[in-house]
Structure 1
Amino acid sequence: MRLAFMGTPDFAVPALHALHAAGHEIVTVYSQPPRPAGRGKKLRPSPVHEAALALGIPVRTPAGLRRNTEEQAHFRALQLDAAVVAAYGLILPATMLDAPVHGCLNIHASLLPRWRGAAPIQAAILAGDSESGVTIMQMDAGLDTGAMLLRDRVALTEHTTATSLHDDLAAMGGRLIVEALRLLPTTGTPQPETGVTYVQRLSREDGRIDWTSPAIQIDRQVRALTPWPGTFTVLDGQVIKIGAAIPAPGTTQAQPGTVVDDRLLVACGAGTLLRITRLQRPGRGMMDTADFLRGQAVPPGTCFGTEAGDA
C-alpha cells in the first residue's frame, strides 16, 4: 500500500520498520520537530525521524496541523491508501483523517476502551491490571474512540516495568499493524460503552512518593514511572530518585517514610514495608542500595520527606 507513517518516540520505531520490511510504499513520515537535548541543548531529531532518514524516507516535522492548511493540502495530495499513526503527539484534523482511501489507523498501547489517552502503559501498571496489549484502531475525531480492527494482549506480573512493557507492546504493534493492513478494507468493531477509562499526560509530580500509600502501590509507581518521569522522595533536603524497590514481608508500627533497618527497609502505609534496591542522589548515577549506603549513611529512624513542599 501507499502509506504515510506518523510517529515520534521509540515506541513507534518497530512499526515503521515492520511496514518497511513488509514492502509497503511509505512515501513520507511525519514526526514532531527536533527538540533541544543534552547538555548543549542541540536540536535532536525524534527516534522516528532518525529511523526514517536511515531508511531513506523523507520526513516532515510541522509544529501543528489543525490550523496548518498548507500541510493539510500536502497530505491530501499524497493520494494515500492509508496512514499509520503511532504515538505521534499531534491531533489530526478531519481533513487529514478522511484523506487516505482507508483512513488513518492508530497503534494504541492498551486494550481499548481501557486507558484511552496519553500514558496507557504507565496507567496499566499503576492500576495493577492483570493484562495490557495493543489495539489497532480506525481513527475518528474522538480521543481513542474509533472502531477496533485488531487486538492482542500480554499478561502483567509483579515484575513488569514500564520499560519491559513498552518494548513488548512496541514489537506487538509492529506485527499487528502489518496484519491489519492485510485485512483492509474491513469494518472495525465499535468499542464497548462500558469499561472506558482515561489517563492524562504524566508530569514530574506524579513521581513523588507518598509513603502513606501501601508498599504494593509504591512498588507499582516505581515500576510504572521509571525511567520517566521517575519516582522520587526527599532525604536531608535532597531529592533522591528511586529506581527499584520490592514490597517486603512483615509489618511495622513505624511512621510511614521511616527507615527501619540498615538496608533501606522503609515503613509505608497500613504498616507495610518496602525495600529500596536502587536509588540515585543528585549529580550521581543510579546505583544499588549497598553502593549508595557506602557513600551516604541512612541509619534506622531516618525519615524520608512526605510534604508537598519538601522537593
Structure 2
Amino acid sequence: MRLAFMGSPDFAVPALEALHAAGHEIAAVYCQPPKPAHRGRRETTCPVHRAAEALALPVRTPARLRGNAAECAAFAALGLDAAVVAAYGLILPAPMLAAPRRGCLNIHASLLPRWRGAAPIQAAILAGDDRTGVTIMRMDEGLDTGPMLLAEAVPIGPETTATALHDRLAALGARLILRALAEDPPAVPQPTEGVTYAPKLTREDGRIDWTRDASAIDRQVRALNPWPGTFCRHGDETLKVLEAAPLAERTGAPPGTVLDREGRVACGAGTALRLLRLQRPGRAAQEIGAFLRGYPLVPGDRLA
C-alpha cells in the first residue's frame, strides 16, 4: 500500500518501522523541523526523522500546513492510499485529510473518547484510570473526534510509569495500524458520552502540592517523569522527585513536613509518601539513602 507517514517523537517510531518492515511503500515521511537542542543549541532532528533516514525514506519537514497551498498540493500529488499519523504535532487541513484514498489514520494513545488531546498517557495515570489503550481512528477536522477503526486496552497498575506505558502503547499502536490497513474495518462513530481532554503539559504541572493526598502525588510522579518532571522546594533549592511511594500509615503532621531520616513526608488528608529517588540541580539522581547522606533534609523540615 502506498502511504505517507506523519509523526515526530519516539512514540511514532515503532509504527514507522513496522510499516516499512511489512513492505508498505512509504512515499514520504513528514515530521517536525529540526530544532535547537542540547549544549550549544545545535539543530537536532526528531526521532522519526532519524528513523526515516536510517530506512532511506524521503523526509519532509514543513513548519506549517494550514494555509500552505504548495505543501497541500505536494501531498495530494503523492497519490496515497492512506496516511498514517502518530503524534505528528501539526494540524492537518481539510485538503490533506481528504487526499488519500482511505483517508488519514491516526494512532492515538487512549481509548477514545477518553483523553482526546496532547498528553493522553500522562492524563490516564494522573486520573487513576485502571486501563487505557490505543485507538486507530480516521481523522476529521476535529480534535481526535474521527470515527474509530480499531481499539485495544491495556491495564494501568499501581506502579505503572509513563515511560513504561508509553513504550507498551507505542508497540501496540504499531501492531494495530498494520491490522487496520490489512483488514480495513468499518469506521464506528465515537460515543458522545465520556469525552475527556488531556491538554499539553507545562513545567508547572510538575510542581508538587503537598496538600494533595499521597496517592495523587504518587500518580503525579509516575505520570510526569521524565517530562516535565515533578519537583518541590526545600529552602532555596529545587529538588526533583523521580520516584516515590504512598504509605499505609497516617500522620497528623502538616502537609510537606519531613517526618524522618528515611524520606517520609506528610501529605494531605493525613496521608504520607516516601521519597525513593531525588535529584539536585546539576547533580546525578540518587536513591534516597545516598541522597540523605549528603543532603541536609531533616525531620521537621518543610517542603513546598
Question: Considering the TM-score relative to the shorter chain, is it more than 0.5?
Answer: yes
Distance across 2 between alignment mates of 1:183 and 1:90? 28
1:91 corresponds to: 91
Distance across 1 between alignment mates of 2:87 and 2:5? 11
Distance across 2 between alignment mates of 1:191 and 1:249? 40
Distance across 2 between alignment mates of 1:193 and 1:93? 24
1:105 corresponds to: 105
1:304 corresponds to: 303
Tell me the amino acid that sits aligned with residue 86 of structure 1.
A
SS in 2 for 1:179: helix
1:32 corresponds to: 32
1:136 corresponds to: 136
1:78 corresponds to: 78
2:191 corresponds to: 192
1:230-309 equivalences under 5 Å are 230-305=229-304
Distance across 2 between alignment mates of 1:170 and 1:132? 13
Deviation (angstroms), 1:283: 0.8
1:182 aligns with 2:186: no
SS in 2 for 1:243: strand
Distance across 2 between alignment mates of 1:287 and 1:89? 34
1:51 corresponds to: 51
Output one character per residue of 1:258-295: Cα deviation in whole Å (capped at 9) or x when no partner.
00011110000001000000011111121111111121
Distance across 1 between alignment mates of 2:72 and 2:284? 45
Distance across 1 between alignment mates of 2:85 and 2:172? 15
Distance across 1 between alignment mates of 2:284 and 2:143? 38
Distance across 1 between alignment mates of 2:240 and 2:298? 18
Structure 2: runs of 5 or more not aligned: none
Distance across 2 between alignment mates of 1:50 and 1:247? 39
Distance across 1 between alignment mates of 2:248 and 2:199? 33
Output one character per residue of 1:228-261: Cα deviation in whole Å (capped at 9) or x when no partner.
0000000121111000000012111110000001
Distance across 1 between alignment mates of 2:24 and 2:93? 24
Output one character per residue of 1:140-199: Cα deviation in whole Å (capped at 9) or x when no partner.
010000000000110111110000000000000000000000122x43010001110011
Which 4+ runs in 1 deviate beyond 6 A? none
1:59-78 equivalences under 5 Å are 59-78=59-78
Tell me the amino acid that sits aligned with residue 178 of structure 1.
L
Tell me the amino acid that sits aligned with residue 270 of structure 2.
G
SS in 1 for 2:125: helix
1:119 corresponds to: 119
SS in 2 for 1:63: coil
1:308 corresponds to: none
Distance across 1 between alignment mates of 2:2 and 2:47? 22
Structure 1: runs of 5 or more not aligned: 306-311
2:9 corresponds to: 9
SS in 2 for 1:62: coil
Distance across 2 between alignment mates of 1:74 and 1:132? 36
Distance across 1 between alignment mates of 2:155 and 2:198? 20
SS in 2 for 1:65: coil
Distance across 2 between alignment mates of 1:277 and 1:181? 44
Deviation (angstroms), 1:41: 0.8
Distance across 2 between alignment mates of 1:285 and 1:58? 39
Aligned Cα root-mean-square deviation (Å): 0.6
Tell me the amino acid that sits aligned with residue 194 of structure 2.
G
Distance across 1 between alignment mates of 2:297 and 2:43? 40
Deviation (angstroms), 1:297: 2.0
Distance across 2 between alignment mates of 1:153 and 1:26? 28
Distance across 2 between alignment mates of 1:285 and 1:132? 33
1:42 corresponds to: 42
1:152 corresponds to: 152
1:214 corresponds to: 213
Tell me the amino acid that sits aligned with residue 205 of structure 1.
E
1:309 corresponds to: none
SS in 2 for 1:19: helix
2:167 corresponds to: 167
Distance across 1 between alignment mates of 2:111 and 2:125? 13
| TM-score, normalised with respect to structure 1 | 0.97
Distance across 2 between alignment mates of 1:191 and 1:36? 39
